[in-house]
């Protein structure tokens, strides 16, 4: 077993997830099963292979380098109409009518 209950608890903490003991047991088993398939990647020597995070720059912009590849995505820095405050707040569980309201952040 590569992944232990402690690892799952650590990762759940990073991801802000709360797991019941039953969920945690299930996740330990599932993650180990899944990660054992992922380890197949170690068969490949990738020491001289560049990582690819997204495909647009790899195929759509031959001859361009750096940020030139994404020049098409730039726009003028102008103020344009956006969502109104009331619509932006309309799905919030709690607001004061002006801002999102959340539980106390700083404990004294």
Partner 1 sequence: MNINTLTIDEARSLIESRQLSARALAEAHYAEIESRDQTIGAFLTLTRERALAQAERIDRLAEKGDPLPPLAGVPVGIKDVLMTRGERTTAGSRFLDKFVAPYDATAVERLEAAGAVCLGKLNCDEFAMGSSNENSAFHPVRNPRDTTRVPGGSSGGSAAAVAAGFAVAALGSDTGGSIRQPAAFCGVVGLLPTYGRVSRYGLIAFASSLDHVGPLARSVKDSATLLEVIAGRDPHDSTSADVPVGKYSPECGREVKGMRIGIPSEYFGEGLDPEIRQAIERRIDGLRAAGCEIVNVSLPHTEYAIPVYYIVATAEASANLARFDGVRYTTRAPQVKTLADMYRRSRDEGFGAEVKRRILLGTYALSAGYYDAYYLKAQQVRTLLTRDFQNAFTRVDAIVTPVTPTAAFKLGEKTDDPMSMYLSDIYTVTANLVGVPGISVPCGNNGEGLPVGIQILGKHFDEATVIRIAHAVEQEQK
Instruction: Please pick, from the candidates 6, 15, 66, 108, the single residue that binds partner 1 as defined by CB under 8 A.
Output: 15
Question: Residue 93, Cα to own-chain centre: how many angstroms?
Answer: 23
Binding mask 60-89 for partner 1 (x = CB under 8 A): x---------x-xx-x-------x---xx-
Task: Report the SS3 class of residue 23.
Answer: helix
Instruction: Please pick, from the candidates 37, 65, 79, 97, the single residue that binds partner 1 as defined by CB under 8 A.
Output: 37
Q: How many residues bind partner 1 (CB under 8 A)?
A: 58
Residue given tokens 């088993």 in the structure block: 29
Q: Would you give the end-to-end CA distance of the chain in angstroms?
A: 42
C-alpha span between 28 and 11 (Å, rounded): 11
Torsion of CA 47, 52, 35, 42, to 10 degrees: -20
Closer to partner 1 by Cβ: residue 1 or 58? 58
- Residue 42 binds partner 1 (CB under 8 A): yes
Residue 85 makes CB contacts below 8 A (sequence gap 6+) with 98
Residues of this chain that bind partner 1 (CB under 8 A): 3, 7-8, 10-12, 14-19, 23, 26-27, 30-31, 33-35, 37-44, 46, 49-56, 58-60, 70, 72-73, 75, 83, 87-88, 90-94, 100, 102-105, 107
């Amino acid at each position: 077993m590569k992944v232990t209950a402690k690892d799952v608890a650590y990762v759940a903490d990073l991801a802000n997830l709360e797991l019941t003991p039953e969920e945690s047991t299930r996740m330990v088993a599932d993650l180990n099963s899944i990660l054992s398939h992922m380890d197949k990647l170690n068969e490949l020597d990738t020491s001289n292979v560049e990582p690819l995070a997204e495909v647009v720059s790899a195929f759509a912009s031959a001859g361009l380098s750096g940020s030139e590849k994404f020049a098409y995505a730039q726009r003028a820095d102008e103020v344009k109409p956006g969502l109104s405050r009331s619509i932006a707040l309309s799905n919030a569980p709690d607001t004061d009518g002006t801002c999102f309201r959340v539980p106390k952040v700083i404990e004294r």
